[in-house]
Amino acid sequence: MSHSHTTRVQQFIGDPVSDNPPVDREELKEIFKDIQSDIRYDHELNGCLNCGICTATCPAAHYYDFSPREIVQLLWTENLEGIYDAMQEKIWACAQCYTCAARCPFGNSPGGLIMLMRETAIKHGMESAKNVLRPFSRVMLKLISTGNQLSPDMITADGFADWGPNVSKIDAPLDVLRKAIPLPTLHTTKTAWEVNLKTSVELYTIWEETGVLDQLETIDENLFDVILDIMDEKREDLEDWNDEQDD
């Protein structure tokens, strides 16, 4: 007589309320391998007592259905389905404050491990990563193209409705206010400070060499194209400037 067996190891993992196709076990293994093979992994996971000190001190755990203890346990027990499941939503609740790392008796860094899981989610183009990063496309554009995260002209009441009514006070004549700052490099509104052309181009090399641009292409191809155009333009400007100096 034959019996059907159910084991803890599932062949596929799917989301019953989504149209996305189930993910097969090979991909789950690949995702875990990417997390585990990062050079930081062995420094950030030394074992886990399941004591819950990290969760007790975690600010995000107070507000969300999220527990660093649970995430660390998933990694420590190599629960591939659970790891993939946590990467759909839970890992994005972490505020990266690293209180957990300061308190863990094993010297683990749950926040650091979560960062590795986030980077892997981006590398694999997971929908969760795209959804989380989509509202930040303007910030990413500014950061990658200029090295500045927020610029004065982005701080408007419209852009930051959740900052409350006082944000309108800096909706004043911004260019005049900025010119009142003693440092000339801060007399800008489109960037937080004036970025030297050569510095910008050097920054682009760093983005390329460290794989930041590859990651961006995976999660937002349109933004990637826009940034590539900006980079080409700035590189040409620098070449022209260098030619002028030679003449």
By CB under 6 A, residue 94 contacts ligand SF4 = yes
By CB under 6 A, residue 96 contacts ligand SF4 = yes
Residue nearest to ligand SF4 (CB): 111
Which is nearer to ligand SF4, 60 or 192 (by Cβ)?
60
Helix (H) / strand (E) containing 13: strand 12-13
Determine which residue in the list 106, 136, 193, 224 makes contact with ligand SF4, applying CB under 6 A. 106
**Selection from 39, 203, 33 nearest residue 123 by Cα:** 33
Angle (deg, nearest 10), helices 212-219 and 110-123: 60
| CA pair distance 52, 57, nearest whole angstrom | 9
Q: Phi first, then psi: what are they for 12, rounded to 5°?
A: -130, 155
Residues 186-215 that bind ligand SF4 (CB under 6 A): none
By CB under 6 A, residue 69 contacts ligand SF4 = yes
Which is nearer to ligand SF4, 44 or 220 (by Cβ)?
44
Tell the smallest beta-carbon distance from residue 46 to ligand SF4 (Å): 9
The span of 83-91, 105-113, 152-160, 207-215 binding ligand SF4 (CB under 6 A) equals 105-113
For residue 125, the cross-strand partners are none
| CA pair distance 106, 75, nearest whole angstrom | 15
The pair of structure tokens assigned to 179 is 């010119």
Identity of the amino acid at 152? P
Q: Point out which residues bind ligand SF4 (CB under 6 A).
A: 48-54, 58-60, 68-69, 72, 94-100, 104-106, 108, 110-111, 114
